[in-house]
Structure 1
Amino acid sequence: MQEFDHIQSLWQSHTVAVKLSSDEMLAQAKKEVNAMRNRSVLNIAGLGLSFLALASLLFFHFQSWATYAGIAVLLIAIGASIFVIYKGQRLISQNDFTTHPNEFLERLKAYQISRFNLHHKMYWIYTAALIIGTSLYFVEVLSYMDLWAQVLIVIFTPLWMILCSTFIRKAVVKKDMERIALLIEKFERLGSQFKEQ
């Protein structure tokens, strides 16, 4: 048993230094930055389509002011989210990281803070606005539906929000934060490699 422990300790103490060339690391970083930019653009586009779809509801005739108030709250929440995501997206797309790597690294760190705030502070404000807006909207709209549809919507909507706020959100936040931290680490290593050369 002692031999196994000795072999295991030798194995754990043995590290292999993987050296990537600066060109390979730059290519990986460029691919990841482009993926982040594309994800942000897709998020903005999706929220933009949601905004337009909800705004089109303003042209319907509703009896209750609560329905229009609910739509307005939802539009404000989506509009604010678009603004915050766009602001973050501009941080990583304003300059070319191949010509100004240190400036881009600083912007990437600011983007990391922006995403943290989006996932933690802004998310709960957005969720509260969605709950209020949806509740106000459903005050009138549910009255036009059959009882089985009302029950289904009243049960499904909170369950969906709870699922999104717990399991899905945690997975998305973890993956997003890890991706940004890894990219920052790559740029820091890339910068140190350029200093060594």
Structure 2
Amino acid sequence: MTDPVEPGTVRPGGRTARVRAAVLRAAGDALAEGGIAQLDLADVARRADVGKTTVYRRWGTVANLVTDLLLDMAEQSLPRADTGTLLGDLTANAQLVQRTLTDQRQGALFKAIIAAATGDTRTAQALRRFYDTRINEWAPCVEQAVARGELPADTDPQEVIRAVSAPLYYRFLVTGEDLDNAAADRAANAAVAAARAGTYRRNTTNASHT
């Protein structure tokens, strides 16, 4: 059997792109319905109305399929907001996370992928790449806030963006508390307040001794 293509190394077009889209949609549906334990390449092929040999040849393993699914999710995610203020931008970010996690399909899908990442190195690496992509997409809104003088010059943009989504994922995965608009707004406001106070400065250790 031909070795499967490494996910992310090919940008398919035409029929190949349609097949990939159908397979990834089917994989996402299967994950949302049954979790990683129930994900089966033959079942995904059936759901996508694609030949089993096509799926096995292109992806080869469940880990490869999940990796490609995460790559596609990162590529298809909505671009960051640009409201002109840090609070506006981070509120938009928090509301996007909140909507995604409370969506019936997307929420179940993320839970399945996160669960899979705890036991599979490749899935964990793909999940980190997904979040790195999203964090880097939103980091410029913090950089713009620094340029406007809203934040200390040495603020770490990635840390600010992580601070927005962290409490939302905590509610989603750990406490089960309501993940509503108010929770999203609080997360954004808390991140802005902490950033303005210098909590996310890269040189906090040195700054505390000056």
Q: When the two structures are superposed, what TM-score results if normalisation uses the length of structure 2?
A: 0.28
Name the structure with the higher helix share: 1
Whose RCO is larger (CA < 8 A, sep 6+)?
Answer: 1
Tell which structure's C-alpha radius of gyration is larger: 1
Q: When the two structures are superposed, what TM-score results if normalisation uses the length of structure 1?
A: 0.29
